[in-house]
Amino acid sequence: MVEKMEVNNLECFRKKVASGQTALGCVITLDDPVVCECAGDCGLDFVWIDAEHGPFSLETIQSHILACRGTQCAPFVRVAQNSAAVLKPVLDLAPAAVIIPMVNSAEEAEAAVAACKYPPVGVRGISVRRANRYGSESLDAYFQHPEKHPMVIVQIEHVDAVRNLDAILKVKGLDSICVGPCDLSASLGCICDMENPELNKVIDEICAKTKKAGLMLGTASGPLARWQERGVDWIATGLDIGLLGAGFRNILKEGGR
């Protein structure tokens, strides 16, 4: 009999955060699943498969998720929008988490949670393949363990979301808040000025309120030390193509160019 394996390494990610360590990851934009396999083999705790800005089909998302299976790396997927129709096929691939962008109100957060949860809690359609290991686990057992289902992460990345943050944090079913500094800066009129005092004041407020609410705090940003001071639980500190480009530039620098 095949030894049971957790399907998406969510338990590894949860243990890392519960231990008090910062879970470290990378944003994935390249479509080759070898990138995720490499990230996992190198020891990253999670990958952020960016289906909002990356050129991904459902098939390539699935390949990236499968590439993490033989590692201890948890595959997160950021979807293109807060839509049940967009979320449903991604959830059926059994990622460790879904990241939902531009959630600006409690109502939008409630809709995101509902799309990710089965009835009677939510409206998620039932079609289980990977999540119960292709029938190795009964549906009854699968439904009785909601902690094994993908985490629901919403992004706070607009000034409207900041205004509504207290209400958003009260929405049941949220697992984590993800701060989106770039879009947040744009909505504040200081696009990508990461040293702007007003932007950092707002980010500090988001982080403090999230931690007080007992939700996990995450981001895809840097520098790491600054975010750790804010209490970040998980952080994607690099972009695959950016890391690749940095390597190329280092080669040229070493060659005197």
* Structural tokens at position 96: 């460790």
- Backbone torsions φ then ψ of 230, nearest 5 degrees: -85, -5
Are 98 and 76 contacting, i.e. CB atoms less than 8 angstroms apart? yes
Local structure of residue 194 (DSSP, 8 states): T
Catalytic site positions: 53
Residues 25-63 have pLDDT tens digits of: 999 999 999 999 999 999 999 999 999 999 999 999 999
Q: Is the pLDDT of residue 139 over 50?
A: yes
Distance (Å, rounded) from C-alpha 60 to C-alpha 73?
A: 17
pLDDT number for residue 211: 98
Distance (Å, rounded) from C-alpha 55 to C-alpha 31?
A: 7
- 133-147, 160-174, 207-221: range with lowest mean pLDDT: 133-147
Residue type (1 letter), 35:
V
Residues 53-92 have pLDDT tens digits of: 999 999 999 999 999 999 999 999 999 999 999 999 999 9
- 2-6, 48-52, 243-247: range with lowest mean pLDDT: 2-6
pLDDT number for residue 56: 97
Establish whether the linkage from the previous residue to 223 is cis, with ω within 30° of 0: yes
pLDDT number for residue 3: 44
Domains of the chain: 10-254 (3.20.20.60)
pLDDT number for residue 5: 55
pLDDT number for residue 163: 98
Check residues 143 and 100 and name the one with the higher pLDDT.
Answer: 100
Q: Dihedral through CA 174, CA 180, CA 185, CA 186, nearest 10?
A: -90
Local structure of residue 72 (DSSP, 8 states): S
Q: What is the mean pLDDT of residues 121-131?
A: 92
The rounded mean pLDDT for the chain is 95
User: Scanning the structure block, which residue is given the tokens 């409630």?
Assistant: 110
* Structural tokens at position 201: 């004041």
Residue type (1 letter), 104:
N
Residues 150-176 have pLDDT tens digits of: 999 999 999 999 999 999 999 999 999
Q: What is the mean pLDDT of residues 176-187?
A: 98
Percent of the chain with pLDDT over 90: 89
Question: DSSP H helical segments within the chain, as ranges?
Answer: 10-18, 34-41, 58-67, 84-91, 106-116, 139-143, 159-163, 165-169, 181-187, 197-212, 224-229, 240-254
Q: Dihedral through CA 108, CA 116, CA 30, CA 240, nearest 10?
A: 70
